[in-house]
Amino acid sequence: MGVNDKVRVPVIGSARIDQEDFVVDTSQGGGYVVGLSNDDPEGMYAVRLVGAAPFGFLREGQFLVFERNGDPFLNLYFLMKVGKNPQLAELLSDRDGRVSAEALVSKKRMTFATADLVGGVDCVMWVVSAGKFESPRKTSA
């Protein structure tokens, strides 16, 4: 890929941003969000946000574009395993081989070994407005 090529990232579903667990409803999937990137879109997916977020920087109708098995040290937000379901979390610090993170909705703080996060979590690459959504292309019969 070249520098800042147009990419189409598939929308795999929607997730309620006002609940602790970040559970994707795949029945609401379909379409693409469009952006410019030099990253390979094969390792990306998008999720539409639903519900009123308890914080102001994310809003209903926006899309989060995730990188599968990304590097949370290059991205501020990632999916953190808390219990049986993931939660959207913010990376707070990385010191002496330990990482501190906080779940955005529950405010639960957790500490991990740095090595446990590298290449093993889905990271938010972009927050995209609803205007960047494209419906699935219809194929002619």
Residue 113 C-alpha from the chain's centroid: 21
Determine the pLDDT at residue 53: 77
Determine the pLDDT at residue 9: 92
Least Cα distance to 138 among 31, 10, 14, 45 occurs for 31
What is the phi/psi pair of residue 22, to 5°? -95, 85
The answer for 104, left when phi > 0, alpha when psi is -120 to 50, beta otherwise, is alpha
- Summarised one tens digit per residue, pLDDT across range 15-63 is 988 888 888 999 999 999 988 776 777 889 999 999 877 777 888 999 9
Eight-state DSSP code of residue 129: -
Which residue(s) pair with 35 in the sheet?
7
The chain-wide mean pLDDT, for the chain, equals: 84
- Summarised one tens digit per residue, pLDDT across range 65-114 is 998 888 877 878 898 877 778 889 999 988 998 989 998 888 889 898 88
Which pTM value belongs to this model? 0.85
What is the phi/psi pair of residue 70, to 5°? -85, -175
* Separation of alpha carbons 54 and 135, rounded Å: 29
Side chain identity, residue 47: V
The answer for 125, left when phi > 0, alpha when psi is -120 to 50, beta otherwise, is alpha
